[in-house]
Amino acid sequence: MPIIPPDLLNRLPLLSRTAVPPSTIEVSRGNAITLLKNGGELFPALVAAIDSATHDVCIETYIFCDDTAGELIANALKSAARRGVSVRVVVDGVGMGATSPLFLDALKQAGVELAIFRPEREFFSLRRSRLRRMHRKISLIDGRIGFVGGINLLDDMTDALSTTHPRYDYAVKIEGPLLADIYLAVNRLWRVLSRAKLQRKERQFNQSQPAHALYVPGNIAAAGTMNAKFLVRDNFRFRRAIEQEYLAAISAAQKNILMVSPYFLPGRAMRHALRDAAKRGVGVTLLLQGRADHPLMQLATRALYDQLLVAGVQLYEYGVSMLHGKVAVIDDEWATVGSSNLDPFSLLLNREANVIVLNSKFALELRDSVFAEIAANAGQMKVTDWQHRSRWARIQSWSAYGLAKFIAGWIGFKNEWRG
């Protein structure tokens, strides 16, 4: 089902040379979706849901840190496992590099089933497969409540690049039929990881899916009035699903586009779509990192500023702490919250998960929240100021951009991410 009105879809070729149809993922109706800002709002809701679990808890996260927030969630998981709840946790081998093995061992000793996606077995490797990471952030509890977003399980101030302001990020709490779609993706990954462990002749762990009837599509009752989609990006059936949804919505935009991404190096199609939208009078606003945890990536991103600013895109950098949120609002009716950045790693390599919400009330709430952050904590990039950068700054940016293009080609996606 299209994410935009059929009459607008019919006019897509007139709106943009990069117009593409949305993915074929069906819309789920009758959901209640709540916006959560930062771990300060997510973690209490997640712990409360885990504490109420009676059947199963499934979690996927890139980072599960052994800090104050991580311990709080870990204790809830251990308590659930000890009272007989099936608890499964999937973490990423690279994302967990700084977490103590003792922290994970305590989870397993309490009865939590733990799987590590692509464990790090070499300190240094040039294998392309090492770059394919599990970057999703998903939690499911009893077929009643789910959480999806960009927030890792670590304290808001850990690695926030600030001593005064928390890391800036979003997630959503989900109730309703969309949970069935999310569970299918989570269980599919669990089965993949369980087969991998058996192939390595390691200790077998439970491959069977929790038998909770509520997870069966069609069995979850409506919990609200919101329409939504659950999108994953993987390297099999859904390689371009998230990117296609973005491109379709951008190409169809008539009023405004607001996008937030910490790492912003989209391919040629998305860059053209954004410039085309701005040129036809759509208000395009981008919020990107000002304080960078990966300076080389920021330098490469800044090589794109000239072409975006000249096209009329309003560009801001978040300056008080680490920007980590991956969200967008288009025409105040289409919104997404998830784990996918707009760079080659998220769009072409990683396992990612986003929720698309087709609801004006939710979209306006997210839009207002982002613009409030922009007003308080971001600085605008002006085209005149940017064009007067020093020659050395330009050399740095274009050198970093060239390196990014080289890496994209090296990993096998030169034709998909060029220009």
Nearest to 335 by CA among 306, 297, 368: 368
Within 331-372, strands assigned E span: 334-338, 352-358
**Amino acid symbol at 16:** S
What's the first-to-final CA gap in the chain, in angstroms? 32
- The active-site residue, picked from 78, 135, 165, 229, is 135
Q: Which helix (H) or strand (E) holds 323?
A: none
Spot the catalytic one: 234, 326, 343, 405: 326
C-alpha to C-alpha distances, 201 to 80, 140, 204, 238, 290, nearest whole angstrom: 29, 29, 8, 29, 46
279 noted as active-site residue: no
Report the distance separating Cα 292 and Cα 304, nearest Å: 16
Provide the 3-class DSSP secondary structure of residue 403: helix
Those residues with Cβ within 8 angstroms of residue 141's Cβ, 6 or more apart along the chain or in another chain: 49, 50, 52, 53, 56, 57
Q: For the chain, state the CA radius of gyration.
A: 21
Q: Which of 155, 169, 331, 343 is an active site residue?
A: 331
Query: Of the residues 92, 142, 169, 343, which is catalytic?
Result: 142
d(CA 174, CA 271) in angstroms, rounded, equals 31
Which of 165, 324, 343, 405 is an active site residue?
Answer: 324
- Residue 165 designated active-site: no
Amino acid at 95: G
C-alpha to C-alpha distance for 134 and 410, rounded to whole angstroms = 20
Q: Quote the CA–CA distance of 228 and 26 in Å, as a whole number.
A: 9
Is 326 an active-site residue? yes
Helices (H), 202-350: 241-252, 268-279, 295-302, 305-310, 344-348
Half-sphere exposure of 248 (CA within 13 A, CB side): 24
Closest among 297, 233, 334 to 5, alpha carbons compared: 334
CB 265 within 8 A of CB 416: no
Give the active site residues. Answer: 135, 137, 142, 324, 326, 331
